[in-house]
Amino acid sequence: MRIVDIREISVPLKGNVSNALVNFSEHTVSLVAVFSDVVRNGKPVVGVAFNSIGRFAQRGLLHERFIPRILKCTPESLLESDGRTFSAKAIFRAAMTNEKPGGHGDRATAVAALELAIWDLNAKLADEPAYVTIARAAGRPAQTRAKPVYAAGGYYYPEDSSNRLRSELQAYRDLGFVDFKIKIGGASLEEDLKRIHVALEISDGGEHLAVDANGRFDLQTALAYADAIAPLALRWYEEVGDPLDFRLNAEIASRYRGAIATGENLFSTIDTVNLMRFGGMRPGLDVFQMEAGLSYGLTEYMATLKELEAHGFSREQVQPHGGHLINLHIATGLGLGGCEVYPGVFQPFGGYSAACMVSEGYAMPTQAPGFGLEEKPGLSEAIAELIKR
Residue-wise pLDDT tens digits, 336-371: 999 999 998 888 999 999 899 889 999 999 999 999
pLDDT band at 161 (very low <50, low <70, confident <90, very high): confident
Q: Which of 386, 378, 384 is closest to 13 using CA atoms?
A: 378
Report how far apart, in Å, the C-alpha atoms of 375 and of each of 15, 223, 329, 369 are: 21, 44, 14, 10
Q: Which of 75, 125, 115, 68 is closest to 93 using CA atoms?
A: 115
- Give Cβ neighbours of residue 96 (< 8 Å, ≥ 6 apart): 111
pLDDT in tens, 271-297: 999 999 999 999 999 999 999 999 999
Q: Which of 115, 104, 113, 112 is closest to 267 using CA atoms?
A: 104
What residue type is assigned to position 177 of the chain?
A: F
Is 324 strand, coil or helix? strand
Calpha distance 362→338 (Å, rounded): 9
Report how far apart, in Å, the C-alpha atoms of 10 and of each of 55, 346, 380 are: 12, 14, 14
Calpha distance 143→134 (Å, rounded): 11
Q: Which of 169, 321, 350, 161 is closest to 236 using CA atoms?
A: 321
Set 124, 147, 183, 376: catalytic member: 183
What residue type is assigned to position 56 of the chain?
A: F
What residue type is assigned to position 323 of the chain?
A: G
At residue 157, the pLDDT reads 81
Would you say residue 21 has pLDDT above 70? no
**Peptide linkage before 141 cis (omega within 30 of 0):** no
183 is catalytic: yes
Q: Which of 52, 59, 85 is closest to 6 using CA atoms?
A: 59
At residue 360, the pLDDT reads 92
Q: Which of 88, 149, 78 is closest to 113 using CA atoms?
A: 88
321 is catalytic: yes
Calpha distance 76→203 (Å, rounded): 53
Q: Which of 124-138, 141-155, 248-262, 320-334 has the lowest mean pLDDT?
A: 141-155
Report how far apart, in Å, the C-alpha atoms of 370 and of each of 121, 125, 180, 183, 351 are: 7, 9, 28, 32, 17
Calpha distance 342→172 (Å, rounded): 10
At residue 103, the pLDDT reads 84
* Model pTM score: 0.95
Write down the H helix ranges in 188-288: 189-203, 219-229, 246-255, 269-278
Residue 139 buriedness (CB in 10 A; 0-12 / 13-18 / 19+): exposed
pLDDT in tens, 71-107: 999 999 999 998 999 999 999 999 999 999 988 989 9
pLDDT band at 139 (very low <50, low <70, confident <90, very high): very high
Calpha distance 13→127 (Å, rounded): 30
Q: 257: which DSSP letter?
A: -
At residue 13, the pLDDT reads 86
Query: Under a CB-based contact definition with an 8 Å cutoff, are residues 327 and 295 in contact?
Result: no
Q: 359: which DSSP letter?
A: B
% of the chain at pLDDT higher than 70: 97
Set 89, 321, 324, 329: catalytic member: 321
